[in-house]
Amino acid sequence: MAYKKTYGKKDDSSKEALAELKRRLKDGDIGGTYVFGGDEEYMKRYYFGELCKAAGESVNISVMRGEVDFGELCDEISAVPMQEFSFFDEAPKEESKRVIKLDSPDFSRLSEREMTDVYNMLSDVGEMTVVVIYFSNIDPVKGKSNGAIIKKISENALACEFERAAPGDPTLLRWIKKHFDKEKIAISPENVRYLCDCTGTDMCLLANEAEKLCAYLTVRGRSEVTTEDIDYVCIKNTEAITFDVTNAISAKNFEGAADALSKLRLTKTEPLLIFGAISKMATDLSIVSSLQREGKAIPDIINASGLRDFVVKKYVATLSSVQKGYAKRFAAACLEADAKLKRTISDGYRILENLAFTLVNLK
């Protein structure tokens, strides 16, 4: 199965691979080679742990990292699984399974003949051996040589891509809610979504932020999460802070926009990335304004534009409180700032602050 990086949407082969992995874990039929990739680290760690559990209490785990040594790999794969004996029984209690983790392996230095042997070994490691080729937050097909090797290995392995869910994914939101249910902390669906919007969809980060919120409320003797708690306790990602900039501009709140820009400056976010979000706001405003002039109602604007409902409602409210031609003036101010950002080596954040001030005071 070819490896490709996507966001939120799994193709049929990815779904089938995950279903097959779950089936093997359920049946205990886990022997074989696996390739774990994708950008959702939490799920990769989880399923690697599940494979180790399924291998039994006496599982033997070996980890090899980075550049692959042909002799060492051969020794690991060909080693005979040990048997656990009891002092009270003549027969062995249990035959141990082996789990071999190749952590971000680099096969590029192996000869063609050695790679042929590796392909043959990995295609048939036996029922008692589990080999997991594990990539941490990188695309394993980057690089001509290593990428071709991983693709070839994947032809005779169970290749699973664990991708981050899209914002608002119902399964992800239910997963977040379970963290709070476990600690008997109440959180509304709106605040579950808000937490996800602030933190992003990285499940490791979400689990950490949920744990922090639960601890914060427990220490204070409280049992329900508020929006203010999330703002106070959780660390917002760059995307969320950038949204704060555009949201403040839309709300005519220069202080809020300047505060968000200051936070982004501390994270050394590239000014052009922030400007991209502001210029998208100009594009969306122009689309909504144009559809309004055609006499379309909000539901029709949502369908025609493809924008999310709350975005359309926000821009309709903005356009109702300003003078005719506002969207064009907004776009013109963005074009002027774009030219300044491209031709100057001075502080890009100063240009963004001036742009925010202009847009907030635009009538």
The verdict on residue 354 lying in a domain is: yes
The verdict on residue 5 lying in a domain is: no
Of 161, 191, 215, which residue is a domain's last?
Answer: 161
Alpha-carbon gap, residue 49 to 43, rounded angstroms? 10
Q: Is 139 exposed, middle or buried (0-12, 13-18, 19+ CB in 10 A)?
A: middle
Q: How many domains does one find in the chain? A: 3
The verdict on residue 1 lying in a domain is: no
* Predicted pLDDT at 93: 52
Alpha-carbon gap, residue 159 to 145, rounded angstroms? 18
Residues 136 and 151 in one domain: yes
* Predicted pLDDT at 227: 93
Q: Assign residue 102 the CATH number of its domain.
A: 3.40.50.300
Long-range contacts (CB closer than 8 Å, 24 or more residues apart) made by 189-195: 191/225, 191/226, 191/227, 191/230, 193/168, 194/227, 194/230, 195/225, 195/230, 195/234
Of 233, 255, 275, which residue is a domain's last?
Answer: 233
Least confident of 47-61, 125-139, 195-209: 125-139
Q: Assign residue 210 the CATH number of its domain.
A: 1.10.8.60
Residues 200 and 264 in one domain: no
How distant, in Å, are the alpha carbons of 14, 24, 183 from that of 161?
6, 16, 31
The verdict on residue 115 lying in a domain is: yes
* Predicted pLDDT at 7: 34
Of 187, 192, 190, residue with least CA distance to 225: 187
Residue 290 has a CB neighbour count (10 Å cut-off) of: 14
The verdict on residue 133 lying in a domain is: yes
Residues 196 and 86 in one domain: no
* Predicted pLDDT at 163: 87
Residues 35 and 94 in one domain: yes
Q: Is the pLDDT of residue 75 over 90?
A: no
Over range 240-250, report the average pLDDT: 85
Residue 11 has a CB neighbour count (10 Å cut-off) of: 14
Residues 229 and 245 in one domain: no
Residues 20 and 156 in one domain: yes
How distant, in Å, are the alpha carbons of 95, 160, 169, 356 from that of 312?
62, 37, 20, 21
If residue 306 lies in a helix (H) or strand (E), which one and from where to where? none
Of 143, 161, 179, which residue is a domain's last?
Answer: 161
Alpha-carbon gap, residue 153 to 133, rounded angstroms? 10
- Average pLDDT along the chain: 85
Over range 235-247, report the average pLDDT: 82
The verdict on residue 316 lying in a domain is: yes
Greater pLDDT, 3 or 203: 203
Q: Assign residue 338 the CATH number of its domain.
A: 1.20.272.10
Q: Is the pLDDT of residue 315 over 80?
A: yes
Residues 19 and 153 in one domain: yes
Place of tokens 């356009």: 319
Residues 248 and 137 in one domain: no
Tens of pLDDT along 346-363?
Answer: 788 999 999 999 999 988
Q: Is the pLDDT of residue 88 over 70?
A: no
Alpha-carbon gap, residue 43 to 40, rounded angstroms? 6
The verdict on residue 3 lying in a domain is: no
If residue 129 lies in a helix (H) or strand (E), which one and from where to where? strand 129-134
Edge-to-edge, what's the strand order for the sheet holding 60-67? Answer: 60-67, 98-106, 129-134, 32-37, 158-161
Of 60, 95, 94, 92, residue with least CA distance to 76: 60
Residues 333 and 308 in one domain: yes
Residues 121 and 75 in one domain: yes
Residues 348 and 268 in one domain: yes
Residues 219 and 346 in one domain: no
The parent domain of residue 32 ranges over: 12-161
Q: Is the pLDDT of residue 86 over 60?
A: no
Axis crossing angle, helix 189-199 with helix 170-182, rounded to the nearest 10? 110
The verdict on residue 92 lying in a domain is: yes
Percent of the chain whose pLDDT exceeds 90: 42
